[in-house]
A and B are shown apart, each in its own frame.
Chain A
Amino acid sequence: MTHCRREVMHAQWKILLDDEFIEAYSHGIVIECCDGIKRRFYPRIFTYSADYPEK
């Protein structure tokens, strides 16, 4: 059961962290901000506070 919980959680995060996100993570995404300046944004994950369902 623990195995299943862990696998389900990891499978879901695998879906969430999709190829599009990985591409953005390593190469950034260019967005024109509202002040008219184009910037290249790199998403970075800082915190993940969660009650792990896999346990």
Chain B
Amino acid sequence: MDLENNLSLAQRRPRRQDRRLPKRFRDILPEPLPSRPIVVDPPSSPRPSSPIASAPPSPLRGSSLHLLASRVGRIFRTPRNIFGLFRQYCSDKAPSHDPEGNVDLLDLSDYSTSSDGSLEPQNNEHDFYPFPNKNSFLLGEWYWNHGIQKSRESFSDLLGIVSDPSFRPEDVRHARWAKIDAVLAQNEFNWNGDEHEVDDGGDAEWQDEDAGWKKTPISISVPFHNRMKHPGPEEYLVGDLYHRSFVSVIREKLASPHDVQNFHYEPFELTWKPTDESIETRVHGELYTSPAFMDAHRDLQNSPGEPGCDLPRVVVAMMFWSDGTHLTSFGDKKLWPCYLFFGNDSKYRRCKPTCHLCNHVAYFQTVSFKNSAVAFQLLTAAAAPGCI
């Protein structure tokens, strides 16, 4: 009774509860594909008794799935979802893992998950390194970043810091300012200096924060013209390549419980068949539904395999991507990173930065006239005719 009194008059009015929106306003939310394959379809003799197996198998007769099935045995089909999409697997047993079974709407949308407790900024002491705590950081930031001249605005910023309820004088009293400034200056020096200085101070940074990074010197052979002073090929050191081992990246990826949950071990054919009568249509969109992946998977299953090993064999689809990246708005500092994505992940997850599915595996060195000893040699030798 109380509840009813709290409601407004309009809300208390009796009305139809099952009214549907006009069709143009209706939105069908994405639905995961049915996970468990229920129909087992032998490739050579489709059983007419099974309702889905009785569907015309001719459009798929020559497909790579059937080629694969002819060797490994059976085709597994999932039932159709509301959009008429279904998956076809081909293996000797049902797929052991369904990466899309637990995908919900939040995983597909770009909705901010800041309410998620795990992503809340934690008041970690190390977040403010080299400052010991937040208040010292704020003061230090005020000191360095607010210009060299005092201004009214900067004064009010300072007042804002010290009058904040969370400001505690003991936080800043024991901070070792000289040391902090030294650390700050050192970082600046290392990263803004030229190549050699980066090597000196940068090594510790690479080794500490990004475990698994390696530094390998690159050497190339440069031929010199026979009319030059020193003809013939000569080895030159171009620089150092910072890179990670691909195998360790793969191991790290597959050992991470969060990533593996959505990792497709087996390719499948995605097919669209809106009604029972309509023709089956292949749907292309993901790498793990592509013919290239099916072919790679089939070749792998057909290969003799390791002696004495009967573990399931899985293709790890590596997709490399690299391009030059400018680091500054002014100046020509740039990097040439190489990224690695795994094609076993859905493209909808790969494109979400919050999923962290992009691995940087290398930073390429490029030859430029400015910093390369090789280029210098070439330039000085250019006096010889027909050298370059």
Contacts and interface: CB of A to CB of B under 8 A. Distances in A.
A29 to B, nearest CB: 6
Contact of B336 (A37, A39, A53): A53
B313 A40 contact: yes
B193 to A, nearest CB: 23
A42 B300 contact: yes
A38 to B, nearest CB: 5
Contacts of A18: 245-246
Interface string B238-251: 10010101110011
Contacts of B312: 37, 39-40
Interface string A20-54: 11001001111101110111111111111111010
Contacts of B378: 1, 4
B265 to A, nearest CB: 7
B361 interface: yes
A12 B364 contact: yes
B315 to A, nearest CB: 5
Contacts, number: 150
Given A3-B222, A31-B254, A39 B367 contact: no
B316 A11 contact: no
B292 interface: yes
B320 A50 contact: yes
Interface in B353-371: 361-362, 364-367, 369
Contact of B246 (A1, A39, A42, A43): A43
B291 to A, nearest CB: 12
B322 A51 contact: yes
B29 interface: no
Interface residues of A, number: 40
Interface in B282-315: 287, 292-293, 296, 300, 306, 309, 311-315
A16 B324 CA distance: 18
B386 interface: no
B306 A47 contact: no
A4 B300 contact: no
Among B220, B306, B309, B366, the most chain A Cβ lie within 10 Å of the Cβ of B220
A39 B220 contact: no
Given A5-B367, A31-B251, A41-B316, A46 B293 contact: yes
A37 to B, nearest CB: 6
B121 interface: no
Contacts of B365: 8, 12
Interface in B234-279: 238, 241, 243, 245-247, 250-251, 254-255, 257, 260-261, 265
B50 interface: no
A31 B255 contact: yes
B319 A46 contact: yes
Interface in B157-175: none
Contacts of A42: 300, 313-316
B218 interface: yes
A5 B365 CA distance: 10
B247 to A, nearest CB: 5
B89 to A, nearest CB: 16
B374 interface: yes
Among A5, A17, A49, the most chain B Cβ lie within 10 Å of the Cβ of A49
Given A8-B238, A37-B312, 19 more contacts: A1-B367, A3-B223, A4-B372, A8-B367, A12-B365, A15-B218, A27-B306, A29-B250, A39-B312, A39-B313, A40-B312, A40-B314, A41-B314, A42-B316, A44-B317, A46-B318, A47-B321, A49-B322, A53-B336
Interface of A: 1, 3-5, 7-9, 11-12, 15-18, 20-21, 24, 27-31, 33-35, 37-51, 53
15 contacts: A4-B372, A8-B366, A20-B247, A24-B250, A29-B251, A33-B97, A34-B257, A37-B312, A41-B250, A41-B315, A44-B317, A45-B318, A46-B317, A50-B338, A51-B322
